[in-house]
Chains A and B, each alone.
Chain A
Amino acid sequence: MLNPFYKQMDIINMNKIFVLFTGLSLLSVWACDSQNISKEKLPIIGNRDVVDGDSIYHTVRDFKFINQDSVIITPETFKDKAYVVDYFFTSCPTICPKVKQQEIKVADHFKDEERLKFLSVSIDTKYDTIQRLKWYAEKLEIDPNQWHLVTGDEDLIYDIAGDFFHSAIKNDDAPGGYDHDGLLILVDKNRHIRAFCNGLEPEEVDEFILDVEQLLAQEY
Chain B
Amino acid sequence: MLKVKVCFLFLLIACLSMQLMSCQENPFIQGEIMYENFCATCHMEDGKGLKGLIPPLANSDWLKNNQDILACSIRKGINDPIVVNGKTYELPMAGVTALTEFELANVINYINQAWGNDYGFVQINEVRDQLDACNARD
Physical interaction between A and B:
yes
Residues of A within 8 A of B (CB): 90-91, 93-95, 97-98, 100-101, 104, 135-136, 138-141, 175, 200
Tell me whether B52 and A97 are in contact (CB under 8 A): no
A136 to B91 alpha-carbon distance, docked (Å): 9
A17 to B53 alpha-carbon distance, docked (Å): 60
Give the residue name and chain of the A residue nearest to B49 (CB).
Answer: A97
A108 to B13 alpha-carbon distance, docked (Å): 48
Q: How far is the CB of B121 from chain A (nearest CB, A)?
A: 28
Tell me whether A97 and B50 are in contact (CB under 8 A): yes
A94 to B54 alpha-carbon distance, docked (Å): 13
Give the residue name and chain of the A residue nearest to B40 (CB).
Answer: A98
Tell me whether A100 and B50 are in contact (CB under 8 A): yes
B78 located at the interface, meaning its Cβ lies under 8 Å from any Cβ of chain A in the complex: no
Tell me whether B41 and A139 are in contact (CB under 8 A): no
Which chain A positions have C-beta within 8 A of B44? 97-98, 101
| Known pairs A97-B41, A97-B42, A101-B44; A139 contacts B94 (CB<8 A) | no
Tell me whether B53 and A136 are in contact (CB under 8 A): yes
Tell me whether A140 and B41 are in contact (CB under 8 A): no
Tell me whether A97 and B54 are in contact (CB under 8 A): yes
Which chain B positions have C-beta within 8 A of A135? 90
Contact of B51 among A90, A93, A141 (CB under 8 A): A141
Tell me whether B94 and A140 are in contact (CB under 8 A): no
Residues of B within 8 A of A (CB): 40-42, 44, 50-54, 90-91, 94
A141 to B52 alpha-carbon distance, docked (Å): 8
Which chain A positions have C-beta within 8 A of B41? 94-95, 97-98, 200
A169 to B76 alpha-carbon distance, docked (Å): 27
A104 to B50 alpha-carbon distance, docked (Å): 10
Which chain A positions have C-beta within 8 A of B90? 135, 139
**Apart from the given pairs A175-B94, A200-B41, 13 other A-B contacts in the complex at a CB distance below 8 Å:** A91-B91, A93-B94, A94-B41, A97-B44, A97-B53, A97-B54, A98-B40, A98-B44, A104-B51, A139-B51, A139-B52, A140-B50, A141-B51
Which chain B positions have C-beta within 8 A of A104? 51
Which chain A positions have C-beta within 8 A of B91? 90-91, 139
A165 to B18 alpha-carbon distance, docked (Å): 48
Give the residue name and chain of the B residue nearest to A176 (CB).
Answer: B94
Give the residue name and chain of the B residue nearest to A91 (CB).
Answer: B91
A200 to B44 alpha-carbon distance, docked (Å): 11
Which chain A positions have C-beta within 8 A of B51? 104, 139-141
7 pairs, A vs B, C-beta closer than 8 Å:
A97-B50, A97-B53, A100-B53, A101-B50, A138-B52, A175-B94, A200-B41
Which chain B positions have C-beta within 8 A of A136? 53
A139 to B88 alpha-carbon distance, docked (Å): 10
Give the residue name and chain of the A residue nearest to B89 (CB).
Answer: A139
Looking at A93, A136, A141, the one whose CB has the most chain B CB atoms below 10 A away is: A93
Q: How far is the CB of A179 from chain B (nearest CB, A)?
A: 15
A101 to B52 alpha-carbon distance, docked (Å): 12
